[in-house]
Amino acid sequence: MNTLEALPIPQGASVLEVLPHIARILDGTGPAVLPVPAADSRERARLSDALHPGEPIDDGIALVVATSGTTGTPKGAMLRADALRASGEATHEYLGGPGSWLLVLPPHHIAGMQVLLRSALAGTEPVVVDVSSGFDPAALPAAVAAMSGPRKYTSMVPTQLVKALSDPGAVDALASLDAVLLGGAATPAPVLEQAAAVGIDVVRTYGMSETAGGCVYNGIPLSGAKIRIDNGRVLLGGPMLASGYRGLPDHPAFSEPGWFRTDDAGSVVDGVLRISGRLDEAISTGGLTVVPQVVEAALADHPAVRECAVIGVADPRLGQRVVVCVVPEGAPPTLEELRAHAQRTLDVTAAPRELFVVDALPLRGPGKLDRAALVARFG
């Protein structure tokens, strides 16, 4: 019987010490492992309490990756070695071949873990930037210079790209790479436009722990990956799919064999997947359902908005009212300006009714917006 083992993952250059474990994960020759952050005892305890390392697990499982756990107890996506290899091989096929990788993400999350797995699959050693104290774009030029050729890649979250775009040295370093995979959260269109203008080859990725990371690149499924839309909900399938959740054999997300039911709303237009937002974050206001990400997209190109997040808070008349939290670009915008800007493309009911100016948006996991923290603060 296979047993799940906790694998403490350090950050910084010490992460290279776990590369032999990474090779065994890909080969399927070692025990099933649960990556946990070596330096964070509280998070290690939280993951251990939820996912029970030391106890039996299904044969064939190589890796259990914890979800971000926005609804409380994290779930553990169980991944087989062949699913991880399928993911890595399809990624390299899309990008034009194997290469060397730069790690700038926490390595115990799926996006950072995939940098290690893809490196092992390519037979290369990743270059590592220590992000344990936060991401410093000034570290990118030296790190990229240390990478070997012929092809060079990295994987980032949008907040890291936003920081990098303000540092000329980091911009030049990223522009020298063959691809910068960007995922984990929606990226405002102005950020993508700015990156393209300075020569950074951004590949927008969509996926999650349950699909071994990104399985849709620039809206197109990777080789073997499948997309289906069911009443507006995105379903994903393919050889990179997880084998379910640890200890939750009847979870509805995996109720249909070969498919994972996401919590994302989307559509496929001319063969390209478009994500409109999270079904579980929709705001019900005045009888209208508002998807926060749609409002955020409508506001993102306002010149005074650097970043923004939309939430719903309780309202005695409307049920919920639409609230926007803005990290300004220069002088903060007014609520009236933002309402007028949103109404260029949206119904008046979706326009924000309250504005909070913040220094930064709260994040969780590898760089996803913590919308619940904003609701707790401003609701």
Report the CATH superfamily, name and number, of domain 2-275.
ANL, N-terminal domain (3.40.50.12780)
Average pLDDT over residues 243-259: 95
Residue 68 has pLDDT above 70, yes or no: no
Percent of the chain scoring above 70 in pLDDT: 98
Task: Specify the higher pLDDT residue, 366 or 24.
Answer: 24
Task: Specify the higher pLDDT residue, 125 or 277.
Answer: 125
pLDDT digits (tens, 9 = 90+) for 73-120: 789 999 999 999 999 999 999 999 999 999 999 999 999 999 999 999
pLDDT digits (tens, 9 = 90+) for 232-242: 999 999 999 99
Residue 70 has pLDDT above 50, yes or no: no
Task: Report pTM.
Answer: 0.85
Average pLDDT over residues 259-280: 92
Report the CATH superfamily, name and number, of domain 282-378.
ANL, C-terminal domain (3.30.300.30)
Sign of CA dihedral 77, 38, 367, 363: positive
What's the pLDDT band for 72 if we cut at 50, 70, 90?
A: low
pLDDT digits (tens, 9 = 90+) for 87-99: 999 999 999 999 9
Give residue limits of the domains in the chain. 2-275, 282-378
What's the pLDDT band for 276 if we cut at 50, 70, 90?
A: confident
